[in-house]
């Protein structure tokens, strides 16, 4: 079993550390945020991720998982260091590497013995070489034996534990074959395919993967918009496409666009890299633009329904997180939609099973946050479904019909049966459903 330190206790760092500890390794999760570390010592999770609290508690009680804010303590006699800090978007879409740089500098100041640095943060191509150079520059005269490995993460929020324990593949990039072999051994219990390559290729695999998935979503959303005009059904279109093995059914669900911590910043960062190297990222720019306009189509539909005047209209919005099974509201389509509605004078009430605390920090003060979906729909002129939580799939629409002032439903994720709702007297509008288009 290895002695591992994971720097960063966000989605990637905490899941990575907890899962490696669950596999029998001795792991220290390091973060400079003292409150976050204190909370973790007390069993309080900084994020909502199904199953994470149980894994953390199990390994913590067994003594395999520790939490610290002290670099010297966390890196003492460590064999493998994972960097899993944030790389948010900069002003021009570039990845901000300041947290990575701070982590590397702190490592260089206290590290002693031979070690492997594994970069798990999503970083621009060339960052692994940059980390190598930084370690040398900040060594303060010390000489130590180290290697750098790129090991990009492919964890989906809401299913991160399963993605770690049952990965489609693990990507390892380094110029040192022995370092790759050491990290390959770490992942051996997972019995998954290992892609071994150089650092820059590993870094590109991550960006290319996320950009392709975002492209599939933007593509089907553009097809959905065409379906509404020509009278076709995007659900059946996606089914007919997805049965082709060359295409596949995943990420072909039309809706209100993608958000979260990965797709938005990664597609922007890849486009920025392309421009830096003198190429024109025309497809990536189109993918970004389609996603930005897709969420606003909900607002446009409401304006059409209410003859261009949303002032004073009461809109109940169900779902605030960017996707189900997470409390993450970064780049949430719901937040943009609500912001636009408030600017147009609408009265918005909303509810989400997990993201209410995050919503209080992000949404306009005028938005009323409710205790349950039914409270959000009291006296509402329209219902907007923004996040496909299971809780909403079995909504009691007979009860809802008695609560709402007008029985208007905009299903931004196509989770409800249009015929059932129209049979109850609702005006139903989905995404890409020609029969139910405005």
* Catalytic status, residue 29: no
The region, left, alpha or beta by phi > 0 then psi within -120 to 50, assigned to residue 409 is: beta
- Name residues whose C-beta falls within 8 Å of residue 216's C-beta, 6 or more positions apart in sequence: 250, 251, 252
Q: In 10 A of CB 99, how many CB atoms?
A: 18
Q: Provide the CB-side half-sphere exposure for 295 (13 A, CA).
A: 22
Pair 285, 274: CB distance under 8 Å: no
Query: What is the rounded distance in angstroms from the CA atom of residue 431 to the CA atom of residue 438?
Result: 10
From 19, 227, 262, 370, active-site residue: 262
Active-site annotation, residues = 262
């Amino acid at each position: 079993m290895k002695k591992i330190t994971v720097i960063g206790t966000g989605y990637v760092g905490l899941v990575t550390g907890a899962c490696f500890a669950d596999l029998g390794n001795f792991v220290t999760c390091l973060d400079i945020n003292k409150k976050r570390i204190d909370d973790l010592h007390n069993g309080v999770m900084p994020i909502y991720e199904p199953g994470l609290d149980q894994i953390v508690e199990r390994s913590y009680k067994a003594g395999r998982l520790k939490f610290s804010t002290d670099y010297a303590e966390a890196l003492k006699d460590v064999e493998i260091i994972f960097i899993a800090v944030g790389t948010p978007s900069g002003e021009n879409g570039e990845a901000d590497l300041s947290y990575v740089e701070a982590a590397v500098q702190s490592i260089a100041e206290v590290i002693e013995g031979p070690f492997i640095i594994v970069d798990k943060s999503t970083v621009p191509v060339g960052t692994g070489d940059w980390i190598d150079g930084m370690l040398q520059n900040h060594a303060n005269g010390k000489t130590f034996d180290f290697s750098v490995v790129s090991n990009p993460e492919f964890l989906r929020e809401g299913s991160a534990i399963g993605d770690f324990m049952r990965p489609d593949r693990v990507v390892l990039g380094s110029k040192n074959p022995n370092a790759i072999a050491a990290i390959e051994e770490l992942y051996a219990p997972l019995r998954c395919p290992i892609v071994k390559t150089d650092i820059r290729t590993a870094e590109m695999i991550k960006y290319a993967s996320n950009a392709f998935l975002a492209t599939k979503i933007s593509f089907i959303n553009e097809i959905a918009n065409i379906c509404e005009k020509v009278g076709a059904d995007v659900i059946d279109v996606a089914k007919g496409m997805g049965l082709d093995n060359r295409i596949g059914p995943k990420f072909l669900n039309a809706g209100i666009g993608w958000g979260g911590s990965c797709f938005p910043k990664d597609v922007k960062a890849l486009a920025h890299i392309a421009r830096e190297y003198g190429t024109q990222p025309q497809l990536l720019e189109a993918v970004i633009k389609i996603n930005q306009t897709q969420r606003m189509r909900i607002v446009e539909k409401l304006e059409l329904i209410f003859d261009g005047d949303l002032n004073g209209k009461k809109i109940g919005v169900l779902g605030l997180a960017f996707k189900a099974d997470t409390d993450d509201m970064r780049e949430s389509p719901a937040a943009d939609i609500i912001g636009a509605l408030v600017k147009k004078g609408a009265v918005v009430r909303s509810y989400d099973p997990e993201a209410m605390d995050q919503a209080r920090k992000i949404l306009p003060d005028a938005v009323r946050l409710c205790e349950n979906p039914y409270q959000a729909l009291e006296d509402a002129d329209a219902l907007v479904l923004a996040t496909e939580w299971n809780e909403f799939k079995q909504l009691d629409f007979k009860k809802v019909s008695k609560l709402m002032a007008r029985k208007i439903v905009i299903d931004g994720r196509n989770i409800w049966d249009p015929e059932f709702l129209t049979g109850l007297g609702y005006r139903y509008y989905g995404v890409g459903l020609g029969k139910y288009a405005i």
